[in-house]
Amino acid sequence: MISSAIKKEQFIWIGSIVVFMLLVVLPFYAPLNQGTAELLTEGDFSGTLWNVRYEAPAAALLLPLLLISAILAMSPIRKKLKLRLFLAISLLGITLFLVQVVLLTPELKLTSGAFILFFTFLTLLALTLSRMGIIRGDSFISGSILSISVLLVIFILFPLLVILVRSVVVEGSLKPGNFIRTLTAYPSTMRILKNSILMAGTVGVLSTIIGLAFALVVERSRFRLRQFMRAFSLLPIITPPFVIGLAIIFMFGRAGWFTSGILGLRVNFVFGYFGIVLAQTLSFAPMAFLILSGVIRSLDSALEEASYTLGSSRWHSFKTIIWPLLRPGLANAFLLSVIESLADFGNPILLGGDFDVLATSIYLAIVGRYDEMLAACLGLVLLSITLTTFIIQRYWVGNRSYVTVTGKPSRNRLLPLPKGLDYTLVGGTILWVVLTVTLYGSVITGSFVKLWGINYEFTLQHYKYFLEVGLESYFTTLKLAAISAPITATMGLMVAYLVSRYTFFGKKTFEFTSMLSFAIPGTIVGIGYVMTFNTGPLFFAGTAMILIICFVFRNMPVGIRSGMAALQQIDVSLEEASITLGASNFYTLRKVVLPLIKPAIFSGLVFAFVRSMTAISAVIFLVTAKTKLATTVILGRIEGGKLGIATAYCTVLIVTMMIAIGIMYFFTNRTSKQNNAVAV
Amino acid sequence: MDETMTGTADLRFENITKKFGNVTAVNDVSFQIDHGKLVTLLGPSGCGKTTILRMIAGLEVPTSGKIYLGGEDITDMPPNERKITMVFQSYALFPHMNVYQNISYGLKVKKWKKDRIQVAVKEALDVVGLKGLEMRGASELSGGQQQRVALARALVLKPKVLLFDEPLSNLDAKLRNRMRGEIRNLQKDLGITSVYVTHDQSEALAIADRIVVMDNSIISQIGGPVELYTRPENNFVADFIGEANIVEGELLKVEGDLALIKLGGMQLKVPYSSRPEAGTPVRVMIRPEDILIQPEGKTGITGKIEFAMYQGAMNDYTVVTEMGELRINDYETKGVVKVRGTKVSLSFREDSLFIVH
């Protein structure tokens, strides 16, 4: 006890000294176009210590505070008094820092020294809070909670706040009426809103119906299609944006294989409502399928059998037993499809034509009209719709669910469907599969023919062209996705671990905020980041850093969900046993928890990677000439009419994704086999 | 400094209260466990016994009150610094480690040298009778073996206090009996202060030096096994530990250690715990084995058999009398079971009765 207490004191003391030494070299501020690395290579070694003397009077006070805490750590005063002093020092430090950065020099760009200084005081606060017992758990836990909270505020909540402020503040003064005025002044507002709701509603209904059909066939049909149909759920994961859009153009467009080649028509009907709805339904039905198959699997056949033995007919059993149990699942699938549809950017931008929706209008407001105010106002409209839907889904439908979707499936014998219904559903789903396969096939075929619709001669010219103009962006994307994936997985896992194993003040908000990314359309994240990180203390614009940050916070819910599911499988008493045997929380996490959830970590890693590779809606606002990404290059080529290279690039991405998924299956199967070997 | 948890110590609970939200799980509980003794916390599920155990381990923090270990206040000490180990209900063996890795886990945390760890693990395995099983996977063991590994893992650190959270509830009845004896012998031989949570009263009686009976978040009674069985202070303890008939009687007068009571027409002299007032109705506990069942016409009260069940070692009767239904365990007449409806005479062993409140 005494020895470990001394260790903590030493940690503060040594930590303060190390930080001090770092601050001698690392600068506090940097010019907008430079970072720490550039300053140091230029030979500018005037670090924070010199930096803050003239430019940052409030931050300059932080340095003496740091020294005081170092001395305080070693001084022999009462523990209670010492902790109070530490609390005061850390809070004062954070306040001074914020005063300096937000109020005194909001226009100066911060760099490494400033971040180190801030997190030093945050660490001190974490240490103090955990030792005072305000946050239970040790300093590792309290440090993680505080740091992740700060990051969530900066990279999820703050950009939203900036958008809100942007829509109601005109030339420095608050004008709440501006929001309404901007929207009414813009002639297309009502049409866009109507289009968006029409699109999302249709897609929600269709996705749910098709997802339900697939779920019934996979779970309850007498045909053995299970394995084959399961693969269906993986499709949207390995599909870059635009693939389905391109395929629809190839099949049903002006020079479409079906419309023009078979029917001999020259029609444009695919651009607009029809095209978007078809593309989005193809994209989102698999998600509805995943949700509903979980629900159907956990329906206990005994309930139905009980109903039959009590003398009710099949139809009556369905109406009174199955339908009520299924309803929450259907609502879930519908609402999540609606969110995805509204947030989707790739399909509407490609197939929209005159049919403009919120996500694309926001993009065009920024890119075409340079009207940030309009973008912010439209963004708020979109955000309020998706957020409302998300909250309904999470708190209203979520609570009404009678079956646990995440729990272990009950392995009872499932009653097959009635014959007539079975044949109809199997027929319908096979047709849908044929359509899907044809569409994907057309994109891959399209990448090997000279000019789709006109000249079907085999060629590799598109791939040659890809090697010339696409390779750089491909590797940039690979690199950034590979960097962000482990960060995403780690943070997601940490959040899942903290939320599922600890109680702390503000935990509900913490969890909600971290899952919020799912309900914030990428377009909004994009404009939020542009408005927030293009100026001021947190200037990241044009850097690879901002793209990585964007990937991490957009994809975190994936990591959280897989982490949560894995942690639910682990008996908490394993961790408690480790703790009572003398291990720290960190040691327990490393030696007990992590080895047991390895497969989940790995799948979180791969999905984070794949989602980063295919991201478009947010990053399109953040890329520059230096940091081109695969998806933005593809969009550029499509807009330039070069569909050949676009399909070639898409094919390369699909293959990349399949390799990533393949590696994941290989590894998770291997590790689970190893675990089984132990478990037998 | 040797980092083992040297020497066991006594443990003291001082006015401990634990609330989960609005629910009070443990309400103002105080007790002391002497050095080297085994104390069981006994009570129905939800009575707060497991919460107390978890507060001793440091896995829960009391809302108010203090916990002392060997005189030191450990109320706010983190669990990994307490030198208190625990045997979990689910054993909580790490599934990805073998027996050796499981047992050496705590020693590795303390950064012991490899050769020292080997010696200590071997010794611990010897103690629990699992020689030579070092390399077995945790889940390749039988339930009893897993239980022993969990015990060895907790013992190898030489803790100041050893905690057991219903450790035998996952074993079958025969093995449970055997493990009970082994745990008790081991605990006595090593002289480790131990706290043992169970809801099984026979387990508590068999294993404990002292028993803390919990009811609905408070302590109902503390005492040795014999004391609790023969002299329960209240209705709850009488009923929870063993089988008990509780009947209403009238107190006539107090004569020293005994009280003269009127019970179903008989006058009996019975012991009591807290002095009752003469002339008031009292509740008397009668154990089923302390009632003598005889053919009708003998002394005592009469009744009619309602249920009659052959149990091998004894016959189990429920008899309807003027005092209500009485449960009787008859160890005297072997083999012959009286049939339902038979009229019988019942008499009581006076010194085995006890006045409860």
* Per-residue pLDDT at A346 exceeds 70: yes
CA distance B200 to A130: 38
Residue A156 lies in a domain: no
| Nearest residue in B to A134, CA atom | B76
Chain B partners of A578 at a C-beta cutoff of 8 Å?
94, 105
| Nearest residue in B to A587, CA atom | B109
Span A83-99, average pLDDT = 87
A581 CA to chain B: closest CA distance, Å? 5
Euclidean distance between the first and the last CA atom of chain B, given in angstroms as a whole number:
54
Q: Are residues A429 and A486 in the same domain?
A: no
A670 CA to chain B: closest CA distance, Å? 14
User: How far is CA A157 from its chain centroid?
Assistant: 14
C-alpha gyration radius of chain A: 28
CA distance B8 to B36: 7
Q: Are residues A566 and A648 in the same domain?
A: yes
Question: How is residue A280 written in tokens?
Answer: 């989005």
Query: What is the number of structural domains in chain A?
Result: 3
Residue A418 lies in a domain: yes
Question: Model pTM greater than 0.90?
Answer: no
Q: Are residues A361 and A471 in the same domain?
A: no
Per-chain mean pLDDT for chain A: 82
The candidate with the shortest Cα–Cα distance to B15, out of B71, B68, B66, is B66
Percent over 90 (pLDDT), chain B: 54
| Nearest residue in A to B93, CA atom | A574
Residue A161 lies in a domain: no
Instruction: Please report, for residues A251, A254, A441, A570, the alpha-carbon distance to residue A258 in angstroms, rounded to integers and kept in the order given.
Output: 5, 10, 14, 53
Residue A316 lies in a domain: yes
Q: What is the pLDDT of residue A83?
A: 84
* Per-residue pLDDT at B121 exceeds 90: yes
Q: What is the pLDDT of residue A404?
A: 39
Chain B partners of A596 at a C-beta cutoff of 8 Å?
95-96
Q: Are residues A218 and A99 in the same domain?
A: no
Q: What is the pLDDT of residue A648?
A: 92
Q: Are residues A408 and A471 in the same domain?
A: no
pLDDT tier at A537, thresholds 50, 70, 90:
confident
Span B246-263, average pLDDT = 85
Q: Do B140 and A680 touch (CB under 8 A)?
A: yes
Residue A14 lies in a domain: yes
Q: What is the pLDDT of residues A211-253, one digit of tens each?
A: 999 888 888 887 766 667 777 767 777 788 888 888 888 888 8
Q: What is the pLDDT of residue A226?
A: 64
Last residue of a domain, one of A104, A134, A164: A134
Q: Are residues A534 and A673 in the same domain?
A: yes
CA distance A213 to A293: 10
Q: What is the pLDDT of residues A92-111, one digit of tens each?
A: 988 888 888 777 777 777 87
CA distance A412 to A414: 6
Q: What is the pLDDT of residues B4-56, one digit of tens each?
A: 444 566 899 999 999 988 899 999 999 999 999 999 999 998 899 999 999 99
Q: What is the pLDDT of residue A45?
A: 66
Q: What is the pLDDT of residue A2?
A: 40
Q: What is the pLDDT of residue A134?
A: 67
Percent over 90 (pLDDT), chain A: 22
Q: Are residues A474 and A571 in the same domain?
A: yes
| Nearest residue in A to B106, CA atom | A581
Would you say the ipTM is above 0.90? no
Q: Is A140 on the interface with B (CB under 8 A)?
A: no
The DSSP result for A284-335, as a single string, is HHHHHHHHHHHHHHTS-HHHHHHHHHTT--HHHHIIIIIHHHHHHHHHHHHH
Q: Do B95 and A679 touch (CB under 8 A)?
A: yes
CB A604 within 8 A of CB A488: yes
The DSSP result for A163-185, as a single string, is HHHHHHEETTEE-THHHHHHHHH
Q: Are residues A326 and A421 in the same domain?
A: yes
Alpha helices in chain B (DSSP H): 49-57, 99-109, 114-128, 143-155, 173-190, 201-207, 225-230, 235-240
| Nearest residue in A to B75, CA atom | A133
Instruction: Tell me which residue has tokens 């989602």.
Output: A611
* Per-residue pLDDT at A300 exceeds 50: yes
Domain that holds residue A59: 1-134
Rounded to 5 degrees, φ, ψ at A146 are: -65, -45
Q: What is the pLDDT of residues A250-293, one digit of tens each?
A: 888 877 777 777 777 777 778 889 999 999 999 899 888 888 88
Q: What is the pLDDT of residue B263?
A: 83
Q: Is B62 on the interface with A (CB under 8 A)?
A: no
Q: What is the pLDDT of residue A241?
A: 82
Q: Do A576 and B92 touch (CB under 8 A)?
A: yes
Q: What is the pLDDT of residue A204?
A: 95
* Per-residue pLDDT at A299 exceeds 50: yes
Q: Three-state DSSP class for A42?
A: coil
CA distance A163 to A379: 8
Q: Do A580 and B110 touch (CB under 8 A)?
A: no
Q: Are residues A246 and A369 in the same domain?
A: yes
pLDDT tier at A676, thresholds 50, 70, 90:
very low
Q: What is the pLDDT of residues A434-475, one digit of tens each?
A: 888 888 888 888 889 888 877 888 888 889 988 888 889 999
Question: How is residue A131 written in tokens?
Answer: 């030792």
Per-chain mean pLDDT for chain B: 89
Neighbours of B260 (CB within 10 A): 15
Q: What is the pLDDT of residue A399?
A: 55
B100 CA to chain A: closest CA distance, Å? 14
Out of 1.10.10.10, 3.30.1950.10, 2.40.50.140, 1.10.3720.10, select the CATH number for domain B243-356. Answer: 2.40.50.140
Q: What is the pLDDT of residues B35-49, one digit of tens each?
A: 999 999 999 988 999
Q: What is the pLDDT of residue A398?
A: 63
Q: What is the pLDDT of residues A392-406, one digit of tens each?
A: 887 777 655 554 333
CB A64 within 8 A of CB A81: no
Residue A404 lies in a domain: yes
Chain B partners of A131 at a C-beta cutoff of 8 Å?
none
Q: What is the pLDDT of residue B3?
A: 39
Q: Are residues A119 and A205 in the same domain?
A: no
For B110, the closest of A136, A579, A582 (CB atoms) is A582
Euclidean distance between the first and the last CA atom of chain A, given in angstroms as a whole number:
40
* Per-residue pLDDT at A8 exceeds 70: no
Q: Is B190 on the interface with A (CB under 8 A)?
A: no
Q: What is the pLDDT of residue B289?
A: 92
Fold for the domain defined by B11-235: Rossmann fold (3.40.50)
- Min mean pLDDT across A54-68, A587-601, A638-652 is at A54-68
Q: Is A138 on the interface with B (CB under 8 A)?
A: yes
Q: What is the pLDDT of residue B6?
A: 47
Of residues A308 and A521, more confidence is placed in A521
Q: What is the pLDDT of residues B269-327, one digit of tens each?
A: 888 877 667 777 888 899 999 999 988 887 888 999 999 999 888 999 999 998 889 99
Q: Are residues A403 and A370 in the same domain?
A: yes
Domain boundaries, chain B: 11-235, 243-356
Q: Is A579 on the interface with B (CB under 8 A)?
A: yes
CB crowding B86-97: b at 16 or more within 10 Å, else e: bbbbbbbbbbbb
Span A424-430, average pLDDT = 87
* Per-residue pLDDT at B107 exceeds 80: yes
Last residue of a domain, one of A134, A163, A178: A134
Domain of A515, CATH number, reads 1.10.3720.10
Q: What is the pLDDT of residue B299?
A: 80
Instruction: Please report, for residues A135, A501, B77, B239, the alpha-carbon distance to residue A130 in angstroms, rounded to integers and kept in the order given.
Output: 5, 16, 12, 45
Residue A130: what residue type? S
Q: Is B137 on the interface with A (CB under 8 A)?
A: yes
Q: How many C-alpha atoms does A635 have within 13 Å on its Cβ side?
A: 22
Q: Is B140 on the interface with A (CB under 8 A)?
A: yes
Q: What is the pLDDT of residue A678?
A: 36
CA distance A76 to A45: 37
Q: Is B94 on the interface with A (CB under 8 A)?
A: yes
Q: How many C-alpha atoms does A230 have within 13 Å on its Cβ side?
A: 5
Q: Are residues A480 and A345 in the same domain?
A: no
Given the DSSP bridges, would you call strands B245-255 and B281-286 parallel, antiparallel or unpaired?
antiparallel
Q: What is the pLDDT of residue A280?
A: 93
Chain A partners of B89 at a C-beta cutoff of 8 Å?
573
Span B82-100, average pLDDT = 91
Q: What is the pLDDT of residues B157-169, one digit of tens each?
A: 999 999 999 998 8
Q: What is the pLDDT of residues A110-143, one digit of tens each?
A: 877 788 888 888 888 888 887 776 666 677 888 8
Q: Is A5 on the interface with B (CB under 8 A)?
A: no
CB A558 within 8 A of CB A604: yes
CA distance B114 to A153: 46
Q: Is B279 on the interface with A (CB under 8 A)?
A: no
Residue A235: what residue type? L
A591 CA to chain B: closest CA distance, Å? 10
Residue A140 lies in a domain: no
For B109, the closest of A576, A582, A678 (CB atoms) is A582
CB A623 within 8 A of CB A632: yes
